Amino acid sequence: MNIQRPDSMVNALHTTLAKTSRRSEVAASNLANVDTPGYRSLEVRFDDVLSLGGGLRRTDGRHLQPVRSEPHDGTLVDSPATRIREDGNTVNIDRTMTQLTLLQGRYRASAELLRKRFALLTYAVTDGRSSR
């Protein structure tokens, strides 16, 4: 799906929502496997993804930035083990629950900012007239 998002704020919020959602999925998977012997806790890393997307580089400041059609899913890596149980499982329930709580707050805040941004854009398009 190719969605054009020329508004940089909408772009940033879309990326934040996608990354937060992906991290939450992985954290929930870790919790689901808390009793699985030998399960290694995972996390998502996005730091290896170029911010311009698609492996493209801007070689001149006058070039347009490419618009990513889909956010990168990130790279799954083993979480640093704070404790390893006798059965080899590395899921830390306290750490994972804290992470999920923080991710939930980030997601809600980003969704609210996106809602307000669209309300502002709607207001601008309708010249401040009520859409009701």
Q: Which amino acid is at 129?
A: R
pLDDT at position 5 is 52
Q: Is 62 exposed, middle or buried (0-12, 13-18, 19+ CB in 10 A)?
A: exposed
For the stretch 58-108, pLDDT in tens is: 677 776 665 554 556 889 999 988 889 999 999 999 999 999 999 999 999
pLDDT at 7: 82
Tell me the pTM: 0.73
**pLDDT-derived band at 127, boundaries 50, 70, 90:** confident
pLDDT per residue over 16-45, tens digit each?
999 999 999 999 999 999 999 999 999 999
* pLDDT recorded at residue 67: 52
Could you tell me the residue ranges of all domains in the chain?
8-51+72-125
